[in-house]
Amino acid sequence: MKPLYILYQYLFAWPLFALITLFTAIMTIIWMAWPNSRFIHAIQAFWSRSFFYLMFIPVEITGMENIRQGQSYVFVSNHQSFCDVFLIYGWLPVIFKFLMKQELRKIPFVGTACEVCGHVYIDRHNLRSAVQSLRKVEQTLKNGVCTVIFPEGTRSKTGEVQPFKRGAFQVALHVHLPVIPLSITGCHECMPKGAGFITRHPVRLHIGKPMDLSVYQEEQEAVNAVQQAVVEGLEA
């Protein structure tokens, strides 16, 4: 069945998903004056969920009760695959802004759409620009608007959680907002880094309990505590 599934992906699922992506990007750009609109967020969530529906991938979400509507959070997630973005965007029930690597801005339509709806690009090779991007993210975190960061810096090649980088963690350390760990499993099995097609495998997003980082004396201690919470959530 695997050859038929791969054929289905390239002849039907990916072309249809590309059309949905184009539609979502155009709608986002049209609604650029209202980047935090619930309406446009619902369209973006449908876009993300459609990826899993088209690929027949089962999705499980746990810990939804740990999110209080109207509260701004910093969500910190492990990073297994590009599928992580669709999983978070599709099922995280808040308005949020991703901190995204600069290279993604080059994607036609999608790069522009992400920028107009408030996602922030960061140039990891330019320290001054990176600091400015972090400050821009911090300014958006109010009135229930959140952010999502991947402090590993890139997708894990093995699926195992890699050490969190302090540079990517600066927003979580400095905005004095609750931090919620996100634990993703299954996305690495669906499409590991470098793979050319999707493999059907159940995926799961566990939303952990909010953490107050002000209780930690050292920055590295706070980073380690959040990483441990993400790891524990993989088995929760």
Q: Is the overall model pTM greater than 0.75, yes or no?
A: yes
Look at residue 177 and give its three-state secondary structure.
coil
Q: Where are the domains of the chain?
A: 2-233
User: How many other C-beta atoms are found inside a 10 Å radius of the C-beta of residue 40?
Assistant: 21
What confidence score (pLDDT) does residue 187 get? 96
Look at residue 195 in the predicted model and tell me its pLDDT. 85
Q: Which of 87, 221, 104 is nearest to 154 (CA)?
A: 104
Nearest alpha carbon to residue 19 among 56, 52, 49, 47: 47
- Torsion angle, alpha carbons of 52, 54, 56, 61, to 10: 20
Name residue 88's amino acid.
Answer: I
The pLDDT, as a whole number, for residue 130 is: 62
For the chain, the straight-line distance linking the first and the last C-alpha, in angstroms and rounded, comes to: 32
Query: How much is the pLDDT for 184?
Result: 97
Give residues with Cβ within 8 angstroms of 215, minimum separation 6: none
Helix axes 38-54, 83-91, angle to 10 degrees: 130
Q: What is the pLDDT of residue 125?
A: 65
Domain 2-233 has CATH 3.40.1130: yes
Per-residue pLDDT in tens (0 to 9) along the chain, 236 residues: 689 999 999 999 999 999 999 999 999 989 888 888 889 899 999 999 999 999 999 999 999 999 998 999 999 999 999 899 999 999 999 999 887 777 777 777 777 888 888 787 777 666 566 667 677 777 778 888 898 989 887 788 888 899 988 766 777 777 888 999 999 999 999 998 888 899 999 999 999 999 999 899 888 899 999 999 999 999 87
* Nearest by Cα to 55 from 176, 189, 228, 229: 189
- At residue 223, the pLDDT reads 92
R_g of the chain, CA atoms, integer Å: 17
